[in-house]
Amino acid sequence: MSSTPVSELISALACGAVGIVDLTQPLTESTPTIQLPSPFANTPGLTREAISHYDDRGPAWAWYTLTLGEHVGTHVDAPIHWVTGRDGLDIGSVTADTLVGPACVIDKTAETEAANGDYLLTVADLQAWEDAHGRIPDGGWVLLRTGWSSRAHDQDEFLNVGEHGPRTPGPDVEASRWLAGERGIAGFGTETVGIDAGCAGGMEPPFPLHNFLLGAGRLGLTQLANLERLPATGALLVVAPLRLVGGTGSPSRVYAFVPGESS
């Protein structure tokens, strides 16, 4: 049988030359959710109600009704999630090839720790990463590693709301503009509750990455885990949202193919 790229991948997975890293946070009733100030409406977290559980309602099976927002846990933001992208794609219309692409991991863990969450990614950071690793490819996913996933078990630590509002890392205005306009990326991912920094509501424009990135038809990806197990380059990201017609986003299973590791 002749070798093909797919058969080579299957063989590499079988022998451990390529592994799979799960980048998804567990989704439970205690998963942290974003908290918007009054008068804005907030998303519900996960709740579930049994339809049957090996009982008179269904003696041989168990299943549940789930209630949760589209933007809970590890999830994708579709362009129509933001007003600037309102005429763009819903999550059910995003093509499968957009959801698979090379991962570009920018590690700002030390800077985020030093700033206690106030760190902002800059254009200089992005250009320095390219100087070291090469140009961010078209169709690639830029993933900001900050160590914030270690807080994902606790709502207060994860949202990190202080006297002046949330303090979580993310890109500044010019980096947001650069990501949306200077490179043909599929999307941007982060370990935090949203793709923008916690202080982004006070920027001009407010929430610039939502504004520019989703307005340009790109995707956002949030609440990632295990980014420390990905190389700066060389991993293949796979994002698997629901194909929800009209959806502004979707909880997703996200994983990466990496050289020589599995989870």
Q: Look at residue 24 and give its three-state secondary structure.
A: strand
Q: Which residue type occupies 196?
A: D
Query: Structure tokens of 183?
Result: 């490179």
- Look at residues 199, 247, 203, 249 and name the one whose alpha carbon lies nearest to residue 223: 249
Give the orientation angle of helix 123-133 with respect to helix 173-181, to 10 degrees: 50
Write down the catalytic residue from 81, 133, 164, 210: 81
Hey, what are 30's tokens? 């205690």
CA distance 122 to 109: 14
How far is the C-alpha of 185 from the C-alpha of 173, rounded, in Å? 17
Please tell me the distance from the alpha carbon of residue 73 to that of residue 64, in angstroms, as a whole number. Answer: 19
Would you call 81 a catalytic residue per the annotation?
yes
| Other beta carbons within 10 Å of 229 | 16
**CA distance linking residue 151 with residue 109, whole number of Å:** 13
Q: How many CB atoms lie within 10 A of CB 213?
A: 29
Which sequence positions are flagged as catalytic? Answer: 81
